[in-house]
Structure 1
């Protein structure tokens, strides 16, 4: 599952791995990556319905019965897969263990779903801004500022003498 998620951002990962180190419940997620867009909501809905019982071999299972440190059960992978594969979650938004708030937040900030879907946009200082929006320097510490399309991108106090700006989001 993690290899398939990572492959969305780091091309060349071994996505042909057919086994999950932690078999239950995670192997069920592999189907979602191979499924068509229309099949994915039903697969995720079923995954969430089975998630807690399928997690019975995990250390967190039944942790609500072992003292006062329990904070809740969440299928973080369901949120990540829903977001990265852009699954329509309307049929399972109210499902137990689904972190709908996390998915809604990621969607609200227009975070890139994958490197393959949205390549990183960078530009050197001194060049005209190709896209209006908020940009960040790649220096340490990073600096942020807004540029209009066509505006000359300014030089910042770069440690290595070269300022490179990375596009963050639209204005």
Structure 2
């Protein structure tokens, strides 16, 4: 019989998470929290203020679940699909708040407050690393009131949204000054050293945030607020600016497999479902161990330390099913 606990311990991406906490929190989200939220939102007698509070809490909970699933070692291609729901829940809150709609104004994230700024840049960074750039304009609309106001945020979205210019101001010095210095440097070694400094200071810089230190309080009954500590925004900058991360890629908070995925991503026709009218027609080509190879060429597995193999179409994709850092999925790299 498969040892589920052992597999979970091998699959998780940070050592603090227990399988009991993960399974309990995920189950209670779908069996208790979400049905309760749906009932309360269906109560049309609720005030706009109460509805906005519910919608914001629901969006935060959905985001936390995505972070938790990443921490638990869920496959990256599954997380790519989960991201749609995260954006949709934030949009529902933004519509209620008047940030998006016929007369957009303001932002659902107040960049001046770290507790609101961090969710915005983490969402943008994770979206980039998952190679869901198609969602960035929708995320950017949630931050309408802060367009052109913060250098870190602009460095993340500018490559994908036309008309954005250089910004030389930012709201939070730590750890972002070092990251911006890395971006500005022309010396690859200095870039790497400065970004290493930013990554290593990321967790300490967020002392006082609600998530800080939560790994100390979780239990198998689902208590606690630990969903993972990940500097998605800094990792996305490493990917976008092609910064050498070899000096810090094993740092606890650095999502190295997402960076590897983003760098190796290739758009390929969807081999499973025909595209809906008006929908995107390209996505990453992938296969799990034991499945037939869908296309001849070079394939790589993030959770086998980036191992590459050459396969012929129809051959069985090799195992193991679980690698050193998570569940194995093979991704097509090229002919």
| TM-score band w.r.t. shorter chain | 0.5 to 0.7
Indicate if the aligned counterparts of 1:4 and 1:33 stay in contact, CA closer than 8 A: no
Would the alpha carbon gap of residues 137 and 33 (structure 1) be closer, same or farther in structure 2, given more than 3 Å must change? farther
Specify the alignment match of 1:147 in structure 2. none
Match of 2:278 among 120, 140, 145: 140
Tell me if 1:32 matches 2:170. Answer: no
Match of 1:77 among 233, 252, 255: 233
Deviations 1:34-54 (A, max 9, x none): 111512111111111211111
Describe the SS at the equivalent of 1:49: helix
Specify the alignment match of 2:169 in structure 1. 18
Moved more, 1-10 or 134-143: 134-143
Indicate if the aligned counterparts of 2:174 and 2:205 stay in contact, CA closer than 8 A: yes
Indicate if the aligned counterparts of 1:48 and 1:96 stay in contact, CA closer than 8 A: no
Indicate if the aligned counterparts of 1:45 and 1:91 stay in contact, CA closer than 8 A: yes
Describe the SS at the equivalent of 1:105: helix
Indicate if the aligned counterparts of 1:93 and 1:100 stay in contact, CA closer than 8 A: yes
Q: State TM-score, norm by structure 2.
A: 0.33
Would the alpha carbon gap of residues 99 and 143 (structure 1) be closer, same or farther in structure 2, given more than 3 Å must change? closer
Indicate if the aligned counterparts of 2:178 and 2:197 stay in contact, CA closer than 8 A: no
Would the alpha carbon gap of residues 53 and 9 (structure 1) be closer, same or farther in structure 2, given more than 3 Å must change? same
Distance in 1, Cα, partners of 2:208 & 2:184: 26
Give the superposition deviation at 1:88: 1.4
Distance in 2, Cα, partners of 1:37 & 1:96: 26
Describe the SS at the equivalent of 2:175: helix
Q: State TM-score, norm by structure 1.
A: 0.60
Give the superposition deviation at 1:137: 7.1
Specify the alignment match of 2:30 in structure 1. none
Indicate if the aligned counterparts of 2:211 and 2:225 stay in contact, CA closer than 8 A: no
Describe the SS at the equivalent of 2:174: helix
Specify the alignment match of 1:94 in structure 2. 250
In the TM superposition, 1:60-71 aligns within 5 A as 60-67=211-218, 68-71=224-227
Contiguous gaps of at least 5 residues in structure 2: 1-151, 219-223, 283-332
Distance in 2, Cα, partners of 1:46 & 1:142: 38
Describe the SS at the equivalent of 1:8: coil
Describe the SS at the equivalent of 2:195: helix
Specify the alignment match of 2:157 in structure 1. 6
Count of matched residue positions in the alignment of Structure 1 and Structure 2 = 126
